Amino acid sequence: MRVADLPGRPCSLAAALQLVGERWALLAVREVALGNHRFSDIARGTGAPRDRLSARLTALVAAGVLERRPYATAPPRSGYHLTAAGRDLVPVLQALLLWGERWAADRPAVRLHHETAGHGDHPVDGTWTCRTCGEPLAGARPTLTPAGRTLLGLPPEEDPR
């Protein structure tokens, strides 16, 4: 994916959306992450029409997010599995899920829970943290890209034009 070829601002966000931004793509990845590897299960879980799903899965395999793995030869059948890139997409799905729980869903249909020794079972409150310094990213000052543009860090303070 050549970032420079994308329309608009050259940005990895646009590149990511090019690969997984089409309709049903992220839902298909969710189903595979949940352990549904077969075409019909993914179709049922997402509600996507079968022809659209077929096109999306092919594209996701081409993009390196999913891989096909045969599980039967008699009639040749293969399931879809996450690649490393696909597994790396799970935090993205979690972030969108949490946002949807808070702002899109009428009621928390599905809740992310977490169980740790220190805090027992608790609802997940996800945030991005910088592994180098341990600080949350949301508090970062906007900085400059190589091209000298401001860039995603904190939504910049409102400028009252």
Partner DNA sequence: GGCGGTCAGTTTGGATGTCCAACCGACTCC
Partner DNA sequence: GGAGTCGGTTGGACATCCAAACTGACCGCC
Residues in touch with DNA (CB under 7 A): 7, 22-24, 38-41, 48-52, 54-55, 57, 68, 74-75, 77-79
Question: b or e along 135-156 (b: 16 or more beta carbons within 10 Å of the residue's beta carbon)?
Answer: eeeeeeeeeeeeeeeeeeeeee
Write the single-letter amino acid at 64. G
Q: Which residue has the tokens 């509600």?
A: 47
When CB distances are held under 5 to 8 angstroms depending on the partner's kind, the choice from a second copy, DNA, none that residue 54 binds is DNA
- State which residue, 3 or 58, has the beta carbon closest to a second copy: 3
Please return the burial class of 89, using the count of CB atoms within 10 Å of its CB with bins 0-12, 13-18 and 19+.
buried
- State which residue, 58 or 136, has the beta carbon closest to a second copy: 136
When CB distances are held under 5 to 8 angstroms depending on the partner's kind, the choice from a second copy, DNA, none that residue 50 binds is DNA
When CB distances are held under 5 to 8 angstroms depending on the partner's kind, the choice from DNA, a second copy, none that residue 113 binds is a second copy
- State which residue, 38 or 81, has the beta carbon closest to DNA: 38
Which residues, 6 or more positions from 150, have their beta carbon under 8 angstroms from its beta carbon? 142, 143, 144, 156
Name residues contacting a second copy, limited to 82-141 (CB under 8 A): 82, 85-116, 118-119, 121-133, 135, 137-138, 140-141
Q: Closest approach of Cβ 4 to DNA, in Å?
A: 16
When CB distances are held under 5 to 8 angstroms depending on the partner's kind, the choice from DNA, a second copy, none that residue 119 binds is a second copy
**Please, what's the largest Cα pairwise distance for the chain?**
68
- State which residue, 58 or 138, has the beta carbon closest to a second copy: 138
**Distance of CA 123 to CAs 33, 102, 108, 109, Å?**
20, 12, 11, 13
Binding of residue 52 to a second copy (CB under 8 A): no
Please return the burial class of 59, using the count of CB atoms within 10 Å of its CB with bins 0-12, 13-18 and 19+.
middle
